[in-house]
Amino acid sequence: MGLQIESKLHDAGNLARLKAEPWMQTLLLSEIFPPKVGGSSRWFWEVYRRMPSRSYSIAAGEDPRQRDFDATHSLRVYRLPLELPPGLLRPRNLASHMRTAKTLGNLVRSQRIQMIHCGRCLPEGLLALFIQLKTGVPYGCFAHGEEVNPSNLETCPPWFRRAVYSSRELGLLAGVVLRRANFLVANSLNTRRILTERWNLPANRVHVIHPGVDTNRYRPALKSQSDRERLGWENRRVILTVGRLTKRKGHDIMLGALRDLCLAYPEILYSIVGDGEEIGNLQRLTRELHLERHVQFLNEVDEDQLLQCYQHCDLFVLPNRQVRGDIEGFGMVLLEAQACGKPVIAGDSGGTAETMRVPDTGLIVPCDHPALLARTLNELLGDPARLEAMGTAARDWAVTRFDWDPLARQATALFDQQSRLNTNDIS
């Protein structure tokens, strides 16, 4: 079978030239990549678009909007069917993985790929493992926290580190992929701790590179009455949450806290940006708590409207908690809010504390129950001077520590080091 890959480089002459040139060395393999939305997608986009263009290409998952998006940039992107069924035991699942691995192998050979960077442990890492076993091409894996966080670890034998996956098979596959990786990139110190302590991986193979934020785009703005009216926020104090509507994000905890806050702040509004499987439950809870006047579901919004939400809210909250091993690995939305000069509050779970300088730019609050969150919010909303000071410090913190340009340079240095190590091993 020939190379069955949709590339943004449709011209036959360009494809022939690329196959002949020697500089295509590293391939990012990720099912989650723009135009898909999400923190991981943005992380990969912001880092790899800043990489030396001659040394990197991208094998990305398919998306109905891919042609329009891929026409807007100059990255070498190849679209593959990477949304694979979990596991290999079922014949149909194995066949899907093998077909995709064969297509990927053709790309690796034609472009002379010498290193693969996997967006996740599964399925991307498993595909890279197949390539490694057949061709010797090494791979590294990104780790985001929630997908490698073991649950019920105390009941597992030492040789079996069960993650949040739904079966022993997937947990075992994940363990093999992680152990065979030449290096791992953790999005937080907390994720690194999970990899080294719970998966028993060597510390010298696990490196931390935090996600970042575009501080030129995400920046403070003067309050605009017209923007607030378009958002439906006129004359309201607004608490904002941005993120997929899943249990671990804790929107229900914030709704419980909001019921108490309404007594002290009758004009308060909780605006929720995002969509997901919990939308029905959250809307039902809003009605049960009689909070319809105080809750706004904006669902998915475009980039410009999202920026306005950050810039014109009064306070950003991500009330995350751990749910059956599912954690918030980092929390890029907390960086985006701080870059816009907003104080933040996050749950005491996963890597969210690493996004802020507690207590100067934000606060960490246990969010298993709403009472403590309500008390913290009440204190902050009642102290405008503190909110303003925290917002100013938040902007400085985001610019100094999390701008994408220095983080991309850090990633480039790490990847160059790993390439040299691989070259030395081969020689």
pLDDT tens per residue across span 163-191: 334 478 898 999 999 999 999 999 999 99
For residues 238-253, give the mean pLDDT. Answer: 97
Domain at 225-402: CATH architecture: 3-Layer(aba) Sandwich (3.40)
What crossing angle do the helices spanning 370-381 and 384-402 adopt, rounded to 10°? 100
- The Cα 239–Cα 60 span in angstroms is 35
- Number of neighbouring beta carbons within 10 Å of residue 82: 22
- The Cα 342–Cα 394 span in angstroms is 6
- The Cα 370–Cα 402 span in angstroms is 30
12 pLDDT band, cuts 50/70/90, is very low
With a cut of 70, say whether residue 21 has pLDDT above it: no
| Per-residue pLDDT, 24 | 45
The string of pLDDT tens digits covering residues 343-385 is: 999 999 999 999 999 999 999 999 999 999 999 999 999 999 9
- The Cα 111–Cα 81 span in angstroms is 19
- The Cα 220–Cα 342 span in angstroms is 8
The string of pLDDT tens digits covering residues 184-234 is: 999 999 999 999 999 999 999 999 999 999 999 999 999 888 999 999 999
More confident residue, 15 or 250: 250
| Per-residue pLDDT, 223 | 84
| CATH 3.40.50.2000 domain position(s) in the chain | 6-212+404-426, 225-402
| Per-residue pLDDT, 151 | 56
Question: What one-letter code names the amino acid at 162?
Answer: R
| Per-residue pLDDT, 425 | 59
Beta pairing, strands 56-61 & 139-143: unpaired
Taking only Cα atoms into account, the Rg of the chain, rounded to an integer number of angstroms, comes to: 23
| Per-residue pLDDT, 143 | 97
CATH fold label, 6-212+404-426: Rossmann fold (3.40.50)
Q: What is the mean pLDDT of the chain?
A: 90
- The Cα 81–Cα 84 span in angstroms is 7
pTM: 0.87
